[in-house]
């Protein structure tokens, strides 16, 4: 199997020159690259399927999810709020996809712990993300991993883009996969048992907004004995409008 370090400085598919490693996930690595065949050698992102699990079943599941990501990007990627798929290919008997590089920053930078966001900005954030999420749901897709790390603020216009479709699922799904896929704290109860729906994405987005309003990530908030999230006491007096909800 190709390693992260072995790919840096190489050219894939005869055109994508790998500059550096960006991030690693549960079954993939992403890299910053340039397209050497286009004028100006534009920057792009190369994603490499490399599941860390050793079992054949896990590897097959990872491959299916990787292909689903490519298919979802192909279907959705012409939308302004979703990265465009540029290529999908196999090399060295391993799978790669190439997508648009976004010049921006993760919303993690805008949501530091202990610094609540004013409710006006939180409402604007909610409306901005819903633009992309509506497109995803209209295509009968569930993202399943909406969180600050997967929301990018584009520098040129300040728009929020939805990224990382590695956990995307068609709805209703044609195959049973009774397992939790997503990020703890942002997952709704039904998603934790492998039964995600459109409302699961809305729940996750709601948790992002709660995080914005309170300055606290979901895993640091407490729940009542009945399972209700306790967060309103974190709100500042000027944001008491949210006390009604």
- What pLDDT does residue 237 have? 53
Which one of the listed residues 35, 128, 145, 164 is annotated catalytic? Answer: 145
Is there a shared CATH topology between the 4-100 domain and the 104-244 domain? no
Choose the most confident range, by mean pLDDT, from 12-16, 89-93, 215-219. 12-16
pLDDT tens for residues 169-192? 998 765 555 677 899 999 999 999
Beta strands in the chain (DSSP E): 11-12, 16-24, 28-35, 43-49, 85-91, 94-100, 104-106, 141-142, 151-154, 160-162, 169-170, 222-223, 229-230
Residue 234, Cβ density class (10 Å: 0-12 exposed, 13-18 middle, ≥19 buried):
middle
Domain definitions of the chain by residue range: 4-100, 104-244
- The predicted model gives 204-221 an average pLDDT of 94
- What pLDDT does residue 241 have? 52
Look over the chain and give the mean of its residue pLDDT values, rounded to a whole number: 89
pLDDT tens for residues 90-125? 998 899 999 999 999 999 999 999 899 998 999 999
- What pLDDT does residue 64 have? 87
- What pLDDT does residue 227 have? 79
Active site (annotated) includes residue 145: yes
What is the homologous superfamily of the domain 4-100 according to CATH? Phosphorylase Kinase; domain 1 (3.30.200.20)
- CA 65 to mean position of chain CA atoms: 14
pTM above 0.85, yes or no: yes
Assess whether pLDDT exceeds 90 at residue 212.
yes
- What pLDDT does residue 4 have? 59
Nearest to 45 by CA among 121, 103, 118, 123: 103
The architecture in CATH of the region 104-244 reads Orthogonal Bundle (1.10)
- What pLDDT does residue 234 have? 78
pLDDT tens for residues 38-89? 999 999 999 999 866 667 777 788 888 899 999 999 999 789 999 999 999 9
């Amino acid at each position: 199997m190709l390693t992260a370090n072995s790919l840096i400085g190489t050219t894939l598919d005869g055109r994508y020159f790998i500059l550096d490693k960006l991030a690693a996930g549960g079954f993939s690595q992403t890299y910053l690259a340039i397209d050497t065949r286009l004028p100006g050698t534009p920057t792009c992102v190369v994603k490499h399927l490399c599941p860390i699990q050793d079992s054949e079943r896990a590897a097959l599941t990872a491959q299916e999810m990787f292909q689903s990501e490519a298919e979802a990007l192909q279907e959705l990627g012409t939308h302004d709020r979703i990265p465009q798929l540029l290529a999908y290919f196999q090399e060295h008997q391993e799978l790669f996809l190439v997508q648009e590089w976004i010049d921006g920053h993760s919303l993690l930078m805008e949501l530091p712990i202990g610094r609540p966001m004013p409710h006006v900005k939180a409402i604007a954030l909610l409306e901005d993300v819903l633009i992309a999420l509506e497109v995803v749901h209209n295509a009968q897709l569930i993202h399943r991993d909406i969180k600050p790390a997967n929301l990018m603020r584009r520098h040129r216009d300040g728009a929020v883009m939805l990224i990382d479709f590695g956990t995307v699922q068609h709805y209703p799904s044609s195959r049973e996969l009774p397992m939790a896929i997503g990020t703890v704290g942002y997952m709704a109860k039904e998603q934790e048992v492998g039964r995600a729906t459109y409302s699961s994405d809305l729940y996750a987005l709601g948790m992002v907004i709660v995080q914005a309003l309170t300055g606290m990530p979901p895993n640091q908030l407490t729940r009542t004995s009945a399972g209700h999230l306790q967060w309103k006491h974190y709100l500042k007096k000027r944001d008491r409008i949210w006390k009604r909800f």
